[in-house]
Amino acid sequence: MTSVSIIGGSGYGGGELLRLLLSHPNVEIKQVTSRSHLGEYVYQVHPNLRKRTQLKFSDPAALEPVDILFLAQPHGEAQHHIEEYSKLALKIIDLASDFRLRDAAFYEQWYGEKHAAPEWLNKFVYGLPELHRAEMATANYISGVGCNATASNLALLPLVKADLLDTSSPIFIEIKVGSSEGGAEGNSGSLHAERANVIRTFSAFGHRHTAEVIQELGVKDVSLTMTAVDLVRGVLATAHAKVKPGVANKDLWKAYRAVANENPFVRVVKEQRGIYRVPEPKILAGSNYADLGFELDESNGHIVAMCAIDNLMKGASGSAVQCMNLMMGWDEAAGLEFMGLHPI
C-alpha cells in the first residue's frame, strides 16, 4: 500500500479527499492534519465517515514522511512551506491555488501579491488530466484546479482542440455555483437564511479562476461571471462564444465525441427527449464526471457550450485523486467509481 497524508483535512476539499482515499484500493492514509479540530475523530467533522475510520486529526507540526502528500489548505499557505513539505514526500498534490499558474508575473497580476516561491511554479503540472495526462505520468508535483476554471476549461476544450472557435470574438462564461464553493468557514452571506433561494451575481468579471482559463486554453478575451444559486454542490458553466465561419453541428458532435472518447470522466449530454437533456450538476454530486453539452445557432455562429461538474469532485478532490492515479500509473478511475444519484 502507498502511504498518503493530508494537510488540512477539516475543510470541504479535505473531507472529500478523505472519503475518496478511504475507499481507494491502493493507498493507506497515514495522517490528516487540522489545527482547529486537533485530536477529534475525523468523523466528528465529516459525519459520513463514521464507522469507516477511526482516524483523528493530527498536528501539522508532527507530520511524518509519506509517499504522497496532499495539500488541502486555504490559498496562500502552501507556497510558504513547500520546501519543508518536499522533504516529507517525494510526490505532492496541492488542491489550493498556490501552484496553478506557471508565470510569477501572471500570478501577481491575478492574485495581487508576489508569489512566495516562484522557483517552484515550473515544477508543478496543472492538475487537469484532460489537458496534461501524459505529463502526469512522470510528474512529482501536481497542482490543484479551480472548480470554476475546470468547468470553463472543459466546456471549451472540444472547441479549442478541434480549433473551432472564432478567437476574435469575446467569450463570456456564465457560471452558476453552489454554496460549498464558499468553504467550511463561510461569511455573513453564507448564513442559510441569506444564502437560501439566492440568485446572486457576486462577481461580474475578474474572478481569479479566469487566469487558469487563459493559461490553459490560450484564449485571451474571456470573462467569467459568477452567480450563486441555491444548491450545495455543483457548478454549471455556460459559455457564450462564436464558432469559425462554416462550423456546423456535425463538426461539433465530432469534436465533443472525440474528447469524451479520450477521457473516461467526460460525457456528452445532448438528448432530444426526457428530463435530462443537458448537462446538470445535480446528478453529479459525489461523482467525478464532467458532463458537456452544446447548442449552436447556425444563423450567427453563436455557440452555447456547457459543462457541469461537482465542484468538490472533478473541481477539486476528484481531479486530485485522478491525478494521483495517473502519477502512480494506476487505473485512472480507481477510487472514483461512484456514479452519482438520481433523483437527488
- Quick check: 197 binds its own copies (CB under 8 A)? yes
**Angle (deg, nearest 10), helices 318-328 and 12-22:** 50
Rank residues 77 and 291 by Cβ distance to its own copies and give the closer one: 291
93, 147, 313, 316: which is the annotated catalytic residue? 147
The residue from 67, 174, 251, 331 that contacts its own copies (CB under 8 A) is: 174
Residue 82 sits at φ, ψ, to 5 deg, of: -65, -35
The number of residues that bind its own copies (CB under 8 A) is 93
Minimum CB–partner distance for residue 110 and its own copies (Å): 14
How far is 12 from 6, CA to CA, in rounded Å? 13
Give catalytic status of residue 147 as yes or no. Answer: yes
Kindly indicate which of the ranges 58-66, 85-93, 135-143, 303-311 contains the residues binding its own copies, using the contact rule CB under 8 A: 303-311
How far is 2 from 321, CA to CA, in rounded Å? 13
Which among 185, 77, 98 has a CA at the least distance from the CA of 146?
98
- Quick check: 134 binds its own copies (CB under 8 A)? no
The residue from 34, 180, 317, 319 that contacts its own copies (CB under 8 A) is: 180
The residue from 62, 84, 193, 245 that contacts its own copies (CB under 8 A) is: 193
Minimum CB–partner distance for residue 77 and its own copies (Å): 21
Kindly indicate which of the ranges 67-75, 221-229, 246-254, 317-325 contains the residues binding its own copies, using the contact rule CB under 8 A: 221-229
How far is 84 from 64, CA to CA, in rounded Å? 11
- Quick check: 28 binds its own copies (CB under 8 A)? no
C-alpha cell at 209: 479562476
Question: Residue 14: CA atoms inside 13 Å, Cβ hemisphere, count?
Answer: 26
- Quick check: 234 binds its own copies (CB under 8 A)? yes
How far is 10 from 45, CA to CA, in rounded Å? 7
Q: Give, as one character, the DSSP assignment of residue 46.
A: S
Torsion of CA 76, 122, 120, 91, to 10 degrees: 90
Gyration radius (Cα) of the chain, Å: 20
Which positions from 243 through 262 interact with its own copies, judged by CB under 8 A?
260
Minimum CB–partner distance for residue 125 and its own copies (Å): 26
Minimum CB–partner distance for residue 300 and its own copies (Å): 7
The residue from 31, 152, 179, 322 that contacts its own copies (CB under 8 A) is: 179
The residue with cell 450538476 is 281
Question: Residue 149: CA atoms inside 13 Å, Cβ hemisphere, count?
Answer: 27
The residue from 7, 17, 21, 49 that contacts its own copies (CB under 8 A) is: 49
Minimum CB–partner distance for residue 15 and its own copies (Å): 6
Which among 283, 308, 292 has a CA at the least distance from the CA of 253?
292
- Quick check: 189 binds its own copies (CB under 8 A)? yes
List, by residue number, the catalytic residues: 147
